[in-house]
Structure 1
């Protein structure tokens, strides 16, 4: 179709049709799914508070030496001058002062604030690495099982059932207890952290694996997957280019909810004495030591509150993220 002509025979310039116009007279711009999710998340003040606490805890873990140098004492330094030789408790009951914000431990007088700050490093590091390992294995095997089906799905699903029935806590206690101080070229805290990451991460993958398998079973019947097949796309292309982008939301949601579970698991292992070994500060280890001094509540209160606040913040943020990424939400 040619442009219209004026009376002189020359072509007239035709202006493009205007797009949709909003109430203020400005053109309405489309929004991506990420922008929609961010708009929903910004309205959820509880989730934003949880996200703020999570970011704060990560910064505390990263800058622990700097924080301790300004507000505390080295975590393994003894302060015997603050401990009563008769009761082995702090002389004033807690030892809380400007120099020791959370007080000092009984018997040895170590600064509780410094140990709580350094404990954040161990707990968050193990939780993040274990979650990354679980998500990587669970996503890979779940997507493969859901997409290919048949004997592949049956084999992977039966493997998931075996792992889910495995007495993980008993195995973790046994394995962590028999591993020597030096193994696999590692030693000390590096060995213990690596061992805990393997135990927690490797044996928890079936939980997210089942979720990914169910999501993949639903996605493989969608029209865009059928369109990719009709154009000659093979399995790996469909999985990586068509399915995985649609699985990002459930992966993120489950990861934020799995991290606090791993924090609690690490704290439980440290409480039972098979986690990272003393004198390295861990929240679970501090609570285990505080059990003997039940009459000195501040010794148990601060590491316990650190675990409580961390787990609660991750759960609140995970719930808000789930609502924000839900395509059916308004």
Structure 2
């Protein structure tokens, strides 16, 4: 048998303050701090977030970048195009020190400059359309989930109608029928506003359904009952008690909705109903490249990679943000 443990006199009377002597002050952490710690551990999501920030900076400082490189998006360089074959001189689309990504066939416009300026159009439309759809979807979803009854049934059936709507066909018909001037807008401003309206107004049910389901769960919680018992009015409960608890799912699904809108804008521009030339757009660049695919597929690589990297970065960041804000979703 082992020897009994000897206890020194007075050791059993040690006070908690003496035991914790030298330990620093313990501070509590908010849910957002805990979520940020989880997100930092996800290196893939952080990488996607870094790429997203870089893309936004590229879009904002597009004129400065093009000025530093010495290129412009709409200037023709006919001297760099073979007059007989109408393709750039040299290999790989005419890549050179003056034109890092080459030039387009037929007209010789610089691809790098058009990629950079195309980021402005794609991200601008994607962000504005997402903002519009989030605002409408959150308001409709929270109202439907909280009030229930015939209001919930009416909004839910409206969501079903919008989800079944042939959006692409409607966009093609509407953009083609709109005049050159409408509500004081002309040119690119009119096209951008029209595309933002089409994408944002008809895609709100996707986030509206999510917010409705979350609201159905939150309205039965104790803090909502406490607000009712204190005489709080419905607008106060909706936008002061419920809305702050919906910020996490709103952020997550907004980041996942942005790449969808980038693809939709590129698809409209590819079909010729996006922004009008010569304004640079990734979808329009793919449309031009598709006509020369049989001659040289090189021209599809740059705009295709730009769309691919943008969508992938937003999706990776959105997935990581979802796991950080709601670990149970894994």
When normalised by structure 2's length, the TM-score is 0.92
Structure 1 position 33 matched with structure 2 position 69: no
> For the residues of structure 1 that align with 2:329 and 2:174, how far apart are their CA atoms?
45
Q: Deviations over 1:247-287 (max 9, x none)?
A: 00000000000000000000000000011111111000000
Within 5 Å, give how 1:14-163 maps onto structure 2: 25-93=23-91, 94-163=93-162
> Does the Cα contact within 8 Å between 1:131 and 1:255 map onto a contact in 2?
yes
Structure 1 position 261 matched with structure 2 position 257: no
Q: Deviations over 1:119-143 (max 9, x none)?
A: 0000000000000000000000100
The alignment partner of 1:25 has SS state of coil
Partner of 2:208: 209
> Does the Cα contact within 8 Å between 1:72 and 1:111 map onto a contact in 2?
no
> Does the Cα contact within 8 Å between 2:259 and 2:311 map onto a contact in 1?
yes
Partner of 1:9: none
Would the alpha carbon gap of residues 220 and 180 (structure 1) be closer, same or farther in structure 2, given more than 3 Å must change? same
Would the alpha carbon gap of residues 218 and 79 (structure 1) be closer, same or farther in structure 2, given more than 3 Å must change? same
> For the residues of structure 2 that align with 1:197 and 1:243, how far apart are their CA atoms?
28
Please, which runs of 5 or more residues in structure 1 have no aligned partner? 1-16
> For the residues of structure 2 that align with 1:306 and 1:87, how far apart are their CA atoms?
27
> For the residues of structure 2 that align with 1:88 and 1:168, how far apart are their CA atoms?
37
Partner of 1:319: 319
> Does the Cα contact within 8 Å between 2:322 and 2:329 map onto a contact in 1?
no
The alignment partner of 1:203 has SS state of helix
* Bigger helix share: 2
Within 5 Å, give how 1:293-308 maps onto structure 2: 293-294=292-293, 295-308=295-308
> For the residues of structure 2 that align with 1:162 and 1:329, how far apart are their CA atoms?
29
Partner of 2:310: 310
Deviation at 1:24, TM superposition (A): 7.1
Deviation at 1:297, TM superposition (A): 2.1
When normalised by structure 1's length, the TM-score is 0.92
> For the residues of structure 2 that align with 1:168 and 1:107, how far apart are their CA atoms?
33
> Does the Cα contact within 8 Å between 1:142 and 1:209 map onto a contact in 2?
yes
Would the alpha carbon gap of residues 81 and 152 (structure 1) be closer, same or farther in structure 2, given more than 3 Å must change? same
Deviation at 1:181, TM superposition (A): 1.5
Partner of 2:235: 236
Within 5 Å, give how 1:145-184 maps onto structure 2: 145-184=144-183
Over the aligned positions, Cα root-mean-square deviation in angstroms equals 1.7
Within 5 Å, give how 1:187-202 maps onto structure 2: 187-202=186-201
The alignment partner of 1:204 has SS state of helix
> Does the Cα contact within 8 Å between 2:142 and 2:212 map onto a contact in 1?
yes
The alignment partner of 1:35 has SS state of helix
> For the residues of structure 1 that align with 2:212 and 2:16, how far apart are their CA atoms?
45
The alignment partner of 2:300 has SS state of helix
> For the residues of structure 2 that align with 1:329 and 1:288, how far apart are their CA atoms?
39
Deviation at 1:27, TM superposition (A): 2.6
